[in-house]
Amino acid sequence: MPKIEIEAEYCKSCLYCVEACPKKVIGTTSAVNSKGYQYAVAINPDACVGCAICATVCPDAAIEVYK
């Protein structure tokens, strides 16, 4: 099953991945990282198809994708 890993410490909460994911896999919670950013998480991981769009658009290279 495809999956993504988001490194919370690299995420700045731009939400590009949230917007880009065709499967609405990604969202945010109230959790913040050490820099105070409400980082992105796979809130709907099972829907992931491994298209890597999220990782492609993530400017901060916080997302890695497995398939």
Partner 1 sequence: MEKIYSRPIGLKKNINGYCPGCLHSAAGKLIMSVLEEFDLLERCTQVDGVGCSANNHTSMDVDSIGSPHGRPCAVASAVKRISPETIVYTYQGDGDLASIGLAETMMAANRGDNITVFFINNANYGMTGGQMAPTTLMDMKTSTTPYGRHAQEHGYPMHMCEVLNALTAPSYIARVTCIDAANMRKARAAVKEAFQHQLDGKGFSFVEFVSNCPTNWGLSPIESLKFIKEKMLPEYPLGEFRNR
Partner 2 sequence: MENSILIGGFGGQGVMIFGQLLCYTAAETTDKYVTYFPSYSMEKRGGTANCYVTISDEPIGAPKAEMTDYVVALNSLAMNKFVNNVYSGGTMFINSSVCTEKPDRADITFVEVPASDVAREIGDSRVTNLCMIGAFIAYTDMLPPEKVLATAFKKLGAKHPEFNALNEAAFKKGMEIGRAAKAKKA
Q: Which stretch binds partner 2 (CB under 8 A): 20-28, 29-37, 40-48, 49-57?
A: 29-37
Contact mark string toward partner 1, 4..43, x via CB under 8 A: ---x-xx-xxxxx--xx--------------x-x------
- What residues between 11 and 50 interact with ligand SF4 by CB under 6 A? 11-17, 21, 23, 25-26, 39-40, 48-50
Q: What's the rounded Cα separation, in Å, for the pair 15 and 31? A: 14
d(CA 26, CA 24): 6
Exposure string for 28-60, b = 16+ CB within 10 A, e = fewer: beeeebeeebbbbbbeeeeebeebbbbbeebee
66: partner contacted, choices partner 2, ligand SF4, partner 1, none (Cβ within 5-8 A by kind): partner 1
